[in-house]
Amino acid sequence: MTGYSPLEIWTIIIVMGIGTFFLRYSFLGLAGKRPLPAWALRYLRYTPVAVLPGLVAPLVIWPTATGGAFDPARLIAAVVTIAVGVLSRNTLAAILGGLAALYLGLWLIG
């Protein structure tokens, strides 16, 4: 890797490893026996639907593989994945539907 010494590369890996572990351990480790208040639970209920869409949206609109250029095949695959997941309530079905749409789309529109 140009510009990085092995020491710098391993510093990145080890600090990321320790930092990530403590982010994951944080609240679990501090948790008391008392349940969290109702308002906190109300917020936490929306954690997955608050994080996953924001994580994915830029990857769908500006895909890395195309250097950020809009790609209809990837957008269609994303829409199909969501639609199958909502209708079937089944993650595997959604993954298979999304991959099928992606490969069909790439084959048809390139």
Partner 1 sequence: MSSSNLSAAYWRGFRHGLPFLLVIVPFGVLFGVAGTEAGLNLAEVMGFSILVIAGASQFTAVQLMSDHAPVILVLLTSLAVNLRMAMYSASLAPHLGAASRWHKSLVAYFMVDQAYAMAIADYERAPEQSLAEKLAYYAGVCTPICPQWYVSTLAGAVLGAAIPAEFALDFAAPITFLAMLGPALRSFAHVAAAAVSVGVALALAFLPSGLGLLIAAVAAMGTGAQVELWMARGAAR
Which parts of 85-104 interact with partner 1 (CB under 8 A)?
85-92, 94-96, 98-99, 102-103
Q: How many CA atoms lie within 13 A of 55 on its CB side?
A: 6
The nearer residue to partner 1, 91 or 108, going by C-beta atoms, is: 91
Q: How far is the CB of 69 from partner 1 (least distance, A)?
A: 13
Does position 108 bind partner 1 by CB under 8 A?
no
Q: How far is the CB of 34 from partner 1 (least distance, A)?
A: 9
Does position 76 bind partner 1 by CB under 8 A?
no
Window 9-38: residues binding partner 1 (CB under 8 A): 9-17, 19-21, 23-33, 35-36
Does position 59 bind partner 1 by CB under 8 A?
yes
> Ramachandran region of residue 99, left (φ > 0), alpha (ψ -120 to 50) or beta?
alpha
